[in-house]
Copies of this chain bind each other. A is one copy, B any other.
Amino acid sequence: MNRLELYINDMKSGVCNPHAEPIILKETAATAWVDGCDGLGATVGNFSMALAIKKAKECGVGWVAVKRCNHYGMAGYWALKAEKEGLIGMSFTNSSPILVPTRAKQGTLGTNPISMAAPATGGDSIVVDLATTTAAMGKVEMQIRKGEPLPEGWALGPDCEPTTDAQLAFDAGKLLPLGGLEKTNGYKGYCLSAMVEVLCSGLSGSRATHNVPQWSHSQTEPPNLGQCFVALNPECFAPGFGDRIADCLQHWRNLEPVDPSLPVLAPGDKERNNAKVTHARGTIKYPESQMTSAKRLADRIGIRPLEAI
């Protein structure tokens, strides 16, 4: 919902072609190079992860790299597609330049997320989906709204010095890599973002992040992002994979917490718990500003606006 207006703008301006179908350019039993043809992120993601899943079922691994992609939403969503088939799923995307490499002044890599989902016995799973910056820009915006400063290590200000001023950080658009500054080993987040770049633009021949234009409401050319979808069949390895993942989940969740009111979570638990609460309630809560922008969008394109219950 948060991105809907951007998606629609991209279709209206022609930088995204909603009718495009991806094309396989090169293929082996385990790999494929795909042209996303500037299609919708959802179209390209569905096509590419389905292809990776098919290959993983046939020969153990499916590795698909795609060029000419648009924004594909949540990386973990694609990893979960494979998890639902009993496979390990992974997905990566590059993005527009916002991560400032250690020692540098300018954003040049993306939030370049890493995601993995792995199935456990009993319908449980490990789900990882993380930006390789310390925090995503959305979290900086949230600190502005709450009127709270940023923790140190999130961002640089316009002067390229570390800042805890959320508004300054938002205006500057210079996010620090996971780990923060060099003294807290932020170069590791920079390296992880570079790894994602290798798997996305490196393999697919899309634009490298440093050549991707900032995503805006007045895009003039297709972003040509690179994306990577991997599926891996645990049945090709030691029997009992699901039980081992379930054992890890149980072990981590049962660890004694420092603060008894804050239990230790397994990767994916926070989102899983939120999903359960939402399902139980039967409705999705949106902030007021989301409803206002959806209304404005509906008016602009001539459809019935969302209604609050």
Query: Residues of A with Cβ closer than 8 Å to B?
Result: 25-26, 28-31, 33, 59-61, 63, 65, 67, 88, 101-106, 108, 114, 116, 118, 126, 128, 130, 134-135, 151-154, 160-161, 178-180, 183-185, 187-192, 194-195, 197-198, 201-205, 208, 210, 232-234, 236-241, 244-245, 247-248, 251-252, 255-259, 262-267
Contact = CB atoms under 8 A, between A and B. Distances in A.
B106 A205 contact: no
A238 B116 contact: no
Contact of A29 (B59, B88, B135, B189): B59
Given A33-B237, A244-B202, A255-B108, A184 B194 contact: no
A244 B194 contact: no
Contacts of A248: 194, 197-198, 201-202, 208, 210
How many copies of this chain? Answer: 2
Interface centre among A128, A202, A236 (most CB of B within 10 A): A202
Nearest to A247: B208
Given A28-B59, A104-B258, A128-B194, A151 B208 contact: no
Given A103-B262, A106-B256, A247-B208, A191 B238 contact: no
Nearest to A129: B191
Contacts of A195: 114, 116, 126, 128, 267
A251 B179 CA distance: 22
Contacts of A180: 153, 179-180, 184
Contact of A203 (B105, B194, B238, B263): B238
Contacts of A29: 29-30, 59-60
Contacts of A105: 255-258
- Counting from the closest, the 10 A-B pairs by CB-CB distance are A205-B238, A31-B60, A104-B255, A203-B237, A31-B236, A28-B60, A128-B191, A30-B30, A33-B237, A191-B267
16 contacts: A28-B59, A29-B30, A30-B61, A106-B256, A116-B195, A130-B192, A134-B184, A135-B185, A180-B180, A184-B184, A187-B267, A192-B192, A194-B248, A194-B267, A201-B244, A210-B248
Nearest to A234: B203
A211 to B, nearest CB: 9
B255 A60 contact: no
Contact of A67 (B61, B160, B161, B238): B238
A63 B232 contact: yes
Given A28-B59, A201-B244, 4 more contacts: A31-B59, A104-B257, A152-B184, A203-B234
A99 to B, nearest CB: 11
Nearest to A60: B31
B256 A104 contact: yes
A258 B61 contact: no
Contacts of A118: 198, 202
Interface centre among A184, A237, A251 (most CB of B within 10 A): A237
